[in-house]
Chain A
Amino acid sequence: MIPVAKEVGSLRTIAAGGIVSPTGNPELSPEKEKQFRRELVLRALQTLQKEV
């Protein structure tokens, strides 16, 4: 959905876990999924610190 976000003017976007679970992945084990979410959120926080 990144192209849609950009089209409507979003300035800081990152690709996440997919449409139905942006900050998760039901295929992963609970521990791995938590790790995935943590990395994703850290990436989002880094993006907030970026100049656009």
Chain B
Amino acid sequence: MNTPIRVVHYLNQFFAQVGGEDKGDVGPTFKAGVIGAGRALQQALGDQAEVVATIYCGDNFFAEQQQQAIDELLRHVAEYKADMLIAGPAFESGRYGVACGAICHAAQQKLGIATVTGMDEDNVGAGLYRKHIYIVNSGATIARMVPTLQRMAALGLKLVRREPIGKPADEGYLSRGIKRNELVAKPPAERGVDMLLAKLAGKEFHSEIAPPKFAGGKPAAPLRDLKSAVIALVTDGGLVVEGNPDKIEPGRPTRFTTIPIHNVNTLDADKFDAVHSGYDTASANQDPNRLVPLDTMRELAREGVIGAVHEFIHSTGGAHAAVENATQIGRQIADQLKAAGVTGVILTST
């Protein structure tokens, strides 16, 4: 007979029945066997696996001293020779969700064991860890405790046995953004037309590509006074100093270049280039002011229409940008502009 798979279950202070928010600073602790919802987990695992211990920690302690909490908790997981760590589910509780994600991620990396957690898709922990670990979608409320634990158990057993894992929708976990090739009978054009016909007929269809979600920004207050404004020029059209010294990518960008333009009144074709795989750069190379209007901005500053032009141009080659990279590039540029006291930005896009 096979020895049962050894499982350790992680809970926060509330689900470990230590106490509520007032006990949030309880440090990392462990106990042999199951606690609370762990019984339902054991039931879902059946006789193929045994919850040998429960580890728990106050949400505040975990949030404030994450490294210490992880180190101590993982020590217990290792001592119990666990094959798998199951954390939560945390539902919509943010600190608990982050703790579940962090402990699973660390256990996977440092101990090399299978991990599964559960939480609501909107839990901040889901956003942080869904790419790295399996997170079963629990919904927001505790009402789905048992079915969530059942899914977590089923997925966990598959992981430990190294069985193939199905698609997120079939297994109930949050998409990790992994793409796999699959053989299908119909070519893409036929599948696309099938979907379109289903859509037109008001029938159900499933897109094969999940559209990325974009977080909308908060609108900046309007510029009150142009005459004192410091305006920065930014572009995703791949403007670079001749020779591209920062080696920005012409497409699929991971970085940007910061071009000093102190005492530069116009973008001369022999000093600047456009590097971009998404459009024909001939016109911009002929006159880079067609891409970034520095000559006009200098003119307007001289005339006093605007206060000043920011002394650096930030540029990236925005073709086929991954949303994560684009977001990071944008944030870094925005941070630099804010720190420099820029009050407005003209971003030219190709």
Residues of A within 8 A of B (CB): 1, 5, 7-9, 11-12, 16-17, 19-26, 33-34, 37-38, 40-42, 44-45, 48-52
Contact = CB atoms under 8 A, between A and B. Distances in A.
A26 B219 CA distance: 34
B215 interface: yes
Interface of B: 214-217, 219-220, 222-224, 226, 229, 231, 237, 279-284, 286-287, 289-293, 295-297, 299-300, 305-306, 344, 346, 348-350
B283 A26 contact: yes
A26 B286 contact: yes
22 contacts: A1-B349, A1-B350, A8-B214, A11-B219, A11-B220, A20-B282, A20-B350, A21-B291, A22-B349, A24-B283, A24-B289, A24-B290, A38-B300, A41-B300, A41-B346, A42-B300, A44-B346, A48-B223, A48-B229, A48-B346, A49-B222, A52-B219
B276 to A, nearest CB: 10
B349 A23 contact: no
A49 B289 CA distance: 23
Q: Main SS of chain A's interface residues?
A: loop
B211 to A, nearest CB: 9
A11 B221 CA distance: 11
Give the top 8 A-B pairs by smallest Cβ distance, nearest first: A24-B290, A21-B290, A9-B216, A23-B293, A21-B283, A22-B348, A52-B219, A48-B344
A41 B293 contact: yes
A9 B306 CA distance: 26
Contacts of B284: 20-21
B222 A9 contact: no
A20 B349 CA distance: 9
B217 A11 contact: yes
B289 A37 contact: yes
A34 B283 contact: no
A22 B290 contact: yes
Contacts of A40: 293
B147 to A, nearest CB: 35
Specify which of B217, B287, B296, B299 lies most central, judged by the most chain A CB atoms within 10 Å of its CB: B296
A22 B291 CA distance: 6
A38 B272 CA distance: 21
Given A26-B283, A41-B346, A45-B344, 20 more contacts: A9-B216, A11-B220, A20-B280, A20-B283, A20-B284, A21-B290, A22-B291, A22-B350, A23-B291, A23-B293, A23-B348, A24-B287, A26-B287, A38-B300, A40-B293, A41-B300, A45-B226, A45-B346, A49-B223, A52-B222
Which of B291, B293, B306, B350 has the most A CB atoms < 10 Å from its CB? B293
Contacts of B287: 24, 26
Given A5-B349, A48-B222, A20 B281 contact: yes
A5 B318 CA distance: 12
Nearest to A38: B296
A9 B220 CA distance: 13
Contacts of B286: 26
B348 A16 contact: yes
Nearest to B345: A48
A20 B217 CA distance: 27
Given A9-B214, A34-B296, A17 B219 contact: no
A19 B350 contact: yes
A7 B306 CA distance: 30
B265 to A, nearest CB: 13
Contacts of B291: 21-24
Contacts of A21: 283-284, 290-291
